[in-house]
Chain A
Amino acid sequence: MKEIIRNYQSDIYGMFSSVGEKMLYQIKFSGFTLILIFNTFIQLRYAFSKRREIVKQMYVSGVKSMLVCSIVALFGGMILSLHSGVELKKWGQQDVVPILMINVMNKEMGAFLTAIILTAFSGAAMAAEIGTMKVSEEIDALEMMSINPVKYIVMPRIVSMMIMLPTLSIYTVVLGVFGGAVVSYFQLGLTFEDYYHRVYESIWVKDMYVGLLKSLVFAIIISSISCANGLMAQNGALGVGRATRISVVSSYLMVLIIGYFITSLFYGGFM
């Protein structure tokens, strides 16, 4: 009996200490990420001299994810307009669909969908690539040569993401709204002309810049979390896999949470 209780105690103790360890790691990791962002902004003055690397990264993260981006945007827009359109048509209100589409895409879904896709595409790739460099001593080799890894590796990736994510999110908005137009034409009996006329009427500049601001913030979140996870990778290939997984999950969570706060900042939520 005593034995069982003792085991039980040590289990509980082990549970708390492992939770504590994880929390400590989280705090350390968050601090590391913030410092990384700060250092990246210091290194921004070298952005021009690293332009070749930046363009290469833009190609890697942007152009390669274009196809998936297109499909997600188009079908995302179609699903959204189909759901709302079918309901609204019952009340004869299908004209509202274009207004709904441009608003939702601009304010929220454009940045969000693109962020999700680029997390999977380039965030994961960044974490894996930098993690591999870390465990194969390449990062150490750079430090040994007094080459700042933030300047050489991290900054170009964050900058390229800051260019590509807003650009792609505009593309996503355009394509998503177009998806809505297709559904409206075939299922709701709206002509393209009517649809786009209503879309133009209800574009708000504020929605556009909030959307762009969001995508810019998402870009910084995703790329810095991914790079930080890569740089903190340990223990060979296993650690690289872990870094990749954690970077994707934490990017998603942070995009959702920060996304909410930006929305509430500009459109007044309860907090």
Chain B
Amino acid sequence: MIEVRNISKRFGKVVVLDDVSLTIENGETFVIIGQSGAGKTTILRHIAGFFDPDSGDVLIDGVKMNGAGSGKKRLLREKMGFLFQSGALINWLNVKENVALPLVEHKLGTKTEIDKIVDEKLSLLQLDDAADKMPSDISGGMKKRVGLARAIVRNPEIILYDEPTSGLDPVMSAKIDELILRMQRELGVTSVVVTHDMESAYRIADRIAMLYRGSIIECGTPDQIRGSVNPFVRQFVEGKLTGPIEV
């Protein structure tokens, strides 16, 4: 279970998160929507322990992430995979080496064992042909899929996705959505997904929260969000130009 308790965060003078609270149950797929710059990535980074909140706490299965020492953080992060917005592949390693990196660096298995796991993840994301390519030679969408393969290579219990479907074509987006659902169904993975893609949000979410200017303004099931009367939420999910959201 991921508990975000009343966290606030400011960078310089800008308040990016203002008293945000979320509780994400085990096995749940929780989607965070919101405009660009609303603070979605910042929430994920708090959960992953990259930022410490100015006030409030982040708990992973009851263990405090903020202020944890490096040993404790390491144990907590072992349970997690993080798909970064840009893929964040190590630029001098090829696709296969990138996916294998966490296993190789922590010596989790022999070479043949690691190869087997990596091949499995690559074919799960339809990346077999790209195995030997360098990150600079593949498209943005492919980078994202490689990033996802790397995030799931250690079979984490929690996966944090930063815009998994942006930059992908609709078919590949549907494929990623299916993968997220499958991991939830078959492995009981807890997912936190940040996205602006409403179609994908409705497809995968157990619950959706909308972030507006650093605050959660609505949180509920996809049906509740669809039927929301909050004018901010309505404008965002319907993608209207006119409304209370200042563009």
Contacts and interface: CB of A to CB of B under 8 A. Distances in A.
Interface string A111-150: 0000000000000000000001100111011111111000
A152 interface: yes
Nearest to A147: B105
B88 A141 contact: yes
Interface string B65-95: 0000000001001101110111011110000
A145 B77 CA distance: 7
A172 B166 CA distance: 52
A144 B80 CA distance: 8
Contacts of A144: 48, 77, 80-82
A136 B106 contact: no
B80 A141 contact: no
Contacts of A141: 82, 84, 88-90, 147, 150
Interface in B25-67: 48, 50
Contacts of B74: 146
A141 B147 CA distance: 9
B77 A146 contact: yes
Q: Is the interface of A mostly helix, strand, loop or mixed?
A: helix
Interface string A21-64: 00000000000000000000000000000000000000000000
A137 B102 contact: no
Interface string B98-112: 000110011000000
A136 B144 CA distance: 13
Contacts of B105: 145, 147, 152
A136 B101 contact: no
Contacts of A132: 91
A234 to B, nearest CB: 10
Interface residues of A, number: 14
Contacts of B86: 136-137
B91 A146 contact: no
B84 A137 contact: yes
Contacts of A133: 90-91
B175 to A, nearest CB: 23
B76 to A, nearest CB: 10
Contact of B101 (A140, A143, A147): A147
A254 to B, nearest CB: 28
A146 B88 contact: no
B221 to A, nearest CB: 30
A24 B13 CA distance: 17
Contacts of A152: 105
A66 B50 CA distance: 40
B174 to A, nearest CB: 26
A81 B106 CA distance: 55
B84 A140 contact: yes
A133 B82 CA distance: 16
A62 B80 CA distance: 39
Contacts of B106: 146
Contacts of A143: 50, 77
A136 B86 CA distance: 7
A138 B82 contact: no
A133 B150 CA distance: 17
A144 B48 CA distance: 8
A133 B93 CA distance: 13
Nearest to A140: B50
Contacts of B48: 144
B88 A136 contact: yes
A132 B86 CA distance: 12
A138 B98 CA distance: 11
Contacts of B101: 145, 147
Nearest to A133: B91
B77 A138 contact: no
Nearest to A145: B102
Contacts of B81: 144
Given A144-B48, A146-B78, A138 B102 contact: no
Interface in B108-124: none
B49 to A, nearest CB: 9
Nearest to B80: A144
Given A146-B106, A147-B102, A140 B88 contact: yes
Most B C-beta atoms less than 10 A away, residue of A133, A144, A147 = A144
12 contacts: A136-B86, A137-B85, A137-B88, A138-B88, A140-B50, A141-B88, A141-B89, A141-B90, A144-B77, A145-B101, A145-B150, A147-B101
Interface of A: 132-133, 136-138, 140-147, 152
Interface of B: 48, 50, 74, 77-78, 80-82, 84-86, 88-91, 101-102, 105-106, 147, 150
4 closest Cβ pairs, A-B complex: A141-B88, A137-B88, A145-B102, A137-B84
